[in-house]
Each structure stands twice: as C-alpha cells, then as structure tokens.
Structure 1
C-alpha cells in the first residue's frame, strides 16, 4: 500500500514540479550478490546484479507521503553441474517474511553498521553509493535458497538449508559464503533460459491465485525469481 501511494504521489509531483520545485524523490542503487560454493574441493561461483529504486515522498507531501522500493533483477542461478541447479531468490530467508525480506530490506540490513544514525532511506542509498562497500552476508540475511526436483515443474520446488547443502546435493558440497557489494554493473537477465515457465506465470507456483496453503509452492510467485521495474 505504501509503495502504491508513493508511486501515485511521485507521479503527481512530476505534474506539479514547475510549481512546487519537488526535485528528486528517489535514489537508485545496484548491488552484486555472489554465491561461492565448494564442490569437492573446487570453487563454483555465481552472481546476480539487482537494482533497488528507493522513493520517499514524505519531505514533499508530509503525512500524505510514503516510502517504497522498486526492485529490478532476478534470482541468482547457481549451476553445480552434475549435482544440479539452485537459486538464491528475491525473497527473504524463510517463508512468511514477505516484503521484510525483499532485496531492499537485505541491502540496508547487510550494511547496517555503516548506516547507524541515518533513518531516512534516500540518504542511506546515497551513503552506500558513495562508500561502495562489500561484505560477507550474515547467515540470517542470505536470501531463500531453493531448487526444483524438475526444472519444468514449478510445484517441485524445495527450500535448501544454506548451512547444509550436502543434505540435498551430497557430501562434498557446501556454501562457502555469500558476498554483497555495491556496483554499477548492469542488472542480470536470462533466468528464463532455466525456468521458461516464468514468462507466463501469473499465479503462485502451484497455480493458485491466492496464498492460502502452508506450502512453499503456494508461498512463492514469479516475482520472487524475476522483476523488472526499470
């Protein structure tokens, strides 16, 4: 709701900018998320670049304003060869997180120590762009990791434990770390090559229109794998 209100107010600001002098109501930032996996002594790395456009109309519209974030990017595709493929989603680390676990949430929490004392979102984004920090994500901030028993069947999805990839992929496979860093690289694309059904999916992964079941396939949507708000 807040995001919808922010979009409407931002559009209104454009219309009346000549009279109000609104100025910028948003800041855009990109980060690169790299997953490093040990596979029988060899390192397999995969990355994705995600864009977060943070808006804040409160300085202009006061109590009628709001804050919100638009995300563009896709899940990181980690191909382990004969062991299979898994994905790091645009979703929090566990079911039920909702927007609290989305990429904007993760971005700010990952660099929380650098942002102490700053409350408003736009200065936070500018600070991160200026400093261009990089660090290993804490385990509780790693996005949800999933795989499909059958890549052509979205209902075959399974959640993975980042602490124990060997449980799914066998002995010798483990997650070394997940690194987040601010970047100006282009937003990643191409996940449909692995999951072609994403292009047409308008429901939850199990085909249901609403989230009303206690299953992972009913929790997740296509937007947890791919978003484009550019």
Structure 2
C-alpha cells in the first residue's frame, strides 16, 4: 500500500500481488528454488495532479522485485531467501504474519505519465520527492507490505477465495490491452529511453 498527501489531503493506493516460491529439481546447475508472481502495479490516484504507478519492476535494485521485497520487509538478510535449504526457507515463509513498513528507498520503480493515453510520456518519479513530478504540496508518506490470504488459483482471480488479485490497470492505461512488447510498441530494447526499457509485464504480471 502507498500513502501520499496532496496539499494535506490523504491519497491511498494498493494492489494484491500473489507471490509463489517453490522447490524444483536441479537441472544443469539451475537453482532448486523457483519464484513467480501474478498481479499488477500499485496505482495511486493523486487527483488533478496525475497518477503514480509503483511497478513490478525493481529498477536499479533487484531486491525490489516482488519475490525479494517481501523478504526484505521481513528482515531476511539482504532480501535473500531464508534458510540453508529450500525446505527450511519455505517453512519460515509459511509462518510470516502481518504488516511491515517499507523504507521509501526500498520501493520498486515509480513512474508517472504526462498523458495516460501516451506511453511515450512515461517518466521516473523520485520516491523521496514526488513533488518534482506532481507539484508542490505532494509527498509520499508511507509504504507498507502486508501478507494476506490470496486463496487458491484460479478462484482468487474472481474473488471467490481469499483476497482477489488486483486487476484492471488497463482502465488507466488502455493501450496495454493486447500489447505484448515494450510499452513503446517495439519488441527489443535498443536505447535507454524509459518507454523502450519498460515492458507490459512491469504493469501487469504474468
């Protein structure tokens, strides 16, 4: 959950993302741990100032990916999977409770669009000073992560068990519909321009 203030008025946005850790057979030197996630970016509506998105993209710190940010929030060393074996680590993860506050410097990449209908207008947002992107009087107050029961797939996709996984980001970004590429519409990354670096999967997870 992201909490912000705009001219003293609170703004809140949240997203339920399902993160799965599992043990797999070792093959050709592969790790015996697999991690995956399903869900969407956090959308924080700041009213007339615009919309802030906390992506499923770690940005410059791989420990801010969905699989790792949980581990950082619950103080496992450096966001590393806990325990000397996968079995022991999974046991620890099953016992994780409750809510933790995240340092704003530990968040995944934050972005905004000058025009929500144009993916080429995407810009990074500084979590420590969102006023540079959204104007004076705007500030990010708090970020929290909470373990919630997400139920059993695919029933949780329809809200039939647990907390439903968040959907609907296309209502904010209609150009995502049917897209399976970088958000600038190309299929390869050939520059450092943000619209060419970000992928659809940064907004809606697999």
TM-score bucket of the superposed structures, by smaller chain: 0.7 to 0.9
CA pair 62-130 structure 1, distance change in 2 beyond 3 A: farther
Which one has the largest radius of gyration? 1
Counterpart selection for 1:55 from 14, 19, 22: 22
Map of 1:112 onto structure 2: 75
Aligned to 1:170: 135
Q: Give the aligned partner of residue 154 of structure 1.
A: 119
Is there any run of 5+ residues in structure 1 with no aligned partner, and where? 1-33
**Matched ranges for 1:35-50 at <5 A:** 35-50=2-17
Question: What's the CA shift for 1:65?
Answer: 5.9
Provide the C-alpha distance between the structure 2 equivalents of 1:192 and 1:206, rounded to a whole number of angstroms. Answer: 16
Query: Are positions 1:72 and 2:38 aligned together?
Result: yes
Tell me: CA distance 1:64–1:215, structure 2 relative to 1, closer, same or farther (3 Å). Answer: closer
| Contact 2:24-2:34 at 8 Å conserved across structures | no
- What runs of 5+ residues in structure 2 fail to find an aligned partner? 150-162
With over 3 angstroms needed to count, the CA separation of the structure-2 counterparts of 1:132 and 1:223, relative to structure 1, is same
Aligned to 2:182: 204
| 2:57 paired residue number | 91
CA distance in 1, matches of 2:100, 2:116: 31
Q: 1: CA distance between counterparts of 2:6 and 2:42? A: 17
* CA positional deviation for 1:210: 1.1
1:42 offset after TM fit, Å? 1.7
Q: Provide the secondary structure at the position in 1 that maps to 2:71.
A: helix
State the 1:220 CA deviation: 0.7
Q: Which residue of 2 aligns with 1:131?
A: 96
State yes or no: 1:182 paired with 2:147. Answer: yes
Q: TM-score by structure 1 length? A: 0.74
The answer to whether the 8 Å contact 1:88/1:144 transfers is yes
Cα displacement (A) at 1:67: 2.4
Match of 2:152 in 1: none
Shift of 1:197: 1.4
Matches of 1:204 and 1:62 in 2, distance apart? 31
Partner residue, 1:21: none
* CA deviation vs aligned residue, 1:153-173 (integer Å, no higher than 9, x gap): 111100000011111111111
C-alpha displacement of 1:215: 1.4
Contact 2:105–2:128 (Cα < 8 Å) also in 1: no
